[in-house]
Amino acid sequence: MVFPPLLMRRPVSFLRVISVFDVIVQAGGLILCGVLWRAFRPLGLDADGVRRSLTGVVYVLLLPALVLSVLWRAPMGVDSLRIAGAATLGVLSGLVLAWLWYRRVRTARPLMGAMLLAAAFPNATYMGLPVLEAALGPWARSVAIQYDLFACTPLLLTLGMYLAAHYGASEGKVHPLVALLRVPPLWAAVAAVALNALNVPEPVLLRGALDMLGAAVVPLMLFSLGLGLQWTRDGAARLVAIAPVLVIQLALVPLLVWLGGRGLGLADGLLTAVVLEAAMPSMVLGIVICDRYRLDTAAYAIAVTLTTAASLVTLPAWFGVLQGGM
């Protein structure tokens, strides 16, 4: 896989880091719109209902279109395996580190299950895709999609579901393979990889339609992320229990992915994109999983809120360090 050499090792540019910070602040503006919607409920529309509707459209229609268009056109090869390997390392590292910590402090099972998910699974697509595209360029969209669909999503719907069921409870269980088969973006990824491998040309009319659908993904993702953020009354009391997630998700996992990515032979530009993906805040989808398996949903929601807010600082910091040739 060949990527533009736009992040070659050189002394860090302060203006470039500021530019990335500006991009993240702009993304934060869209997230803030969702937060304000939750607070004021325009037209009497409930934030959770709006979020479910928007994310449903994105999940079933818009995101599969974006995945199909990006992966159909993207260069595929050994680097795709390296991206998946780095993502797998990130998820498993987050799980192990969180398990070691919360087991040591004897955490209640519902809280432990929620914190394992919060520490291990980043918001690789909903926030990672728009941030990477804006900060690094259109080529980085394929990194975000591969990072998520080739590793994070399969691990979430298998190992993640198993851990949620183990530490929580559920009235019914769905086989992991059945859960995977119900993921429309994953089907789009399989189709795109096949079309890419067979060198099937993309029809002009289809390209235009996919581009039109895919263009709506980024703003709706960020707005929906804001709709899902929430703070409970006991949030301050839970800070001690949730603080380790911030350290693991935003600092330790990206560091381990950086070390692992170098060992896998990822080039500088691609390595930067992968580390930024690993440094994304906790995924919003985990709220649904916590509800389903009766984990500590409130604590998870606070973890998402805090990691998202903190990432406005940590993501530019990581970019600056990587540009400086860490």
Least confident of 116-130, 143-157, 178-192: 178-192
| C-beta of residue 85 within 8 angstroms of C-beta of residue 146 | no
Structure tokens at 170: 């559920």
Structure tokens at 129: 């895709």
Please report the pLDDT score of residue 239 as a whole number.
Answer: 85
Separation in Å, CA 259 to CA 8, 17, 156: 17, 22, 23
| C-beta of residue 289 within 8 angstroms of C-beta of residue 161 | yes
- What digits encode the pLDDT tens for the residues 282-325? 988 788 788 778 898 888 888 988 998 899 889 988 988 887 75
Flag whether pLDDT at 8 surpasses 60. Answer: no
Closest by CA to 56, choosing from 210, 224, 197, 270, is 224
Binning pLDDT at 50, 70 and 90, where does residue 14 land?
A: low
- What digits encode the pLDDT tens for the residues 78-106? 999 999 999 999 999 999 999 999 999 98
Flag whether pLDDT at 170 surpasses 80. Answer: no
Which range is most confident: 20-24, 180-184, 269-273?
269-273
Q: How many percent of the chain have pLDDT more than 90?
A: 43
Flag whether pLDDT at 18 surpasses 70. Answer: no
The end-to-end CA distance of the chain, in Å, is 23
Please report the pLDDT score of residue 235 as a whole number.
Answer: 64
Q: How many percent of the chain have pLDDT more than 70?
A: 88
- What digits encode the pLDDT tens for the residues 209-248? 999 998 888 788 788 878 877 776 766 767 888 999 999 9
Which domains occur in the chain, in start order? 14-37+44-320 (1.20.1530.20)
